[in-house]
Amino acid sequence: MKPKQEITPFTGYQKMVIFLLAITQFTVILDFMVMSPLGDILMKSMSLKPSAFGFAVSAYAFSAGISGLLTAGFADKFDRKKLLLFFYIGFIVGTIFCGLAHTYVELVTARIITGLFGGVIGSISMAIITDIFSLQQRGRVMGFVQMGFGASQVLGVPIGLYLANIWDWEAPFLVIAGLAVIIAILIFIQLKPLTAHLAFQREHSALKHLWHTVKKRKHRIGFTSTALLSIGGFMMMPFGSAFAVNNLNVAQNKLFILFMVSGVCSLIIMPLIGRLSDRISKFKIFMVASIWMMIMCVVYTNLSGTSFWLVVFLNILMMMGVMSRMIPSSALTSAIPDLEDRGAFMSINSSLQQIAGGVAAAIAGMIVVQKTEYSPLENYNIVGYVIVVISIISIFLMYRVSKLAVGKTAQPAEDVVLTEGI
């Protein structure tokens, strides 16, 4: 039997980096996540069909994906701190534009701008994590950083819904932008420059560096796995609030409770899953979580009118599976690239994640049908079945990723070089 691995403690600086990246991810994820609970309000206020709303969600994802591909060749050419600040400031500007939008065209345009900058932040954060933390630490790091997802549901989504109900749907975006400005200042002051990867750069052409990253077989395995995971993860999300209101009979003023309770449970679960991932097997955790998620997706998407607290309970069970997949898969994928390719790999990986999410939202928009503004959504259960098929393929691909990651654990020298000066 394989012995449990020892837990490597974090330094004080590493803890501060985790905090900075976690709150940064909180704002970026919240900016994307808030579109789902605002979905029913937006669809009714702008008289949008599911396909139009699905496109508005996809606009962010597609622009983020394109941005990731365009910046991949340059991602390893600059100090990662400067790169993070540049794109985070652009994200803030785009979010402000979302808050100032008054028509569907303006909203889609603002989402595209936000996606161009916000979509790259996750990949830069991943490169920073891989630079500073060893593979034996990354499960816990991912657990804490991915808490931004849960925190966005606990704090951001309920507050966003509250503000949208008091004023209008634009208000949450302006609040997110204000919070992001404070975080950008903290990053500028607290985060140290990250330039160790610059010494390993051999190629002068950004295009050549991009091609060098894409052509590696192990990279392509990671890219494919990430894309499929994103399609499976994003398909249900855009129409979550509309399904709850129109199919499950959840009152609009109770939506914030549904998201808040799920978010609290995510905050509790994610650090535990991260710790288990570092102690046991990241792939085994991923596989069990995927099977659990598949079962709950089929159950949840086939519900009709249901008591509120049963909806809350089932939503928690489903989110447990979704969240528990994210942490081990992110940790395993982070181990694939070598030091000199990390920035480019993470940018491409993030862009494929965003594009796949956009494809998922667009496909879900074509599958789901709503005859009138207040009628139940139809074919939402078909989305659940599609997720099951995709998740089965994802398990096979993640097994191959885990084999690559295990091979990299025998070569820890590059991580030691980067953490010596912390």
Q: What does the pLDDT read at residue 74?
A: 65
Q: Round to whole Å and give the CA distance between 98 and 240.
A: 21
Q: Round to whole Å and give the CA distance between 183 and 180.
A: 5
Q: H-helix or E-strand containing 76? A: none
Q: What does the pLDDT read at residue 418?
A: 39
Encoded tokens for 366: 């074509």
Q: What percent of the chain has pLDDT over 70?
A: 77
How many angstroms separate the Cα of 346 from the Cα of each of 73, 112, 342?
A: 11, 21, 6
Q: Round to whole Å and give the CA distance between 205 and 289.
A: 41
What are the tens digits of pLDDT across the range 334-345? 778 776 666 677
CB 126 within 8 A of CB 319: no
Q: What does the pLDDT read at residue 29?
A: 78
Encoded tokens for 138: 């990354």
Beta bridge partners of residue 369, listed in sequence order: 378
Q: Where do the H-state alpha helices sit in 133-253? A: 135-145, 147-151, 157-166, 171-190, 206-214, 217-234, 240-246
CATH number of 14-195+214-419: 1.10.10.10, 3.40.50.300, 1.20.1250.20, 3.40.50.720? 1.20.1250.20
Q: What does the pLDDT read at residue 339?
A: 65
pLDDT-flagged residues of the chain (< 70): 1-8, 36-40, 45, 47-48, 50, 72-77, 135-136, 138-139, 142-143, 146-161, 164-165, 195-210, 339-343, 373, 406-422
Q: Round to whole Å and give the CA distance between 338 and 354.
A: 23
Q: What does the pLDDT read at residue 118?
A: 84
DSSP line for 288-333: HHHHHHHHHHHHHHT--S--HHHHHHHHHHHHHHHHHHHHHHHHHH
What are the tens digits of pLDDT across the range 281-320? 788 888 998 999 899 989 988 888 888 899 889 888 888 8
> What pTM was estimated for this model as a whole?
0.64
What are the tens digits of pLDDT across the range 66-108? 777 777 656 566 777 888 899 999 999 999 988 887 778 888 8
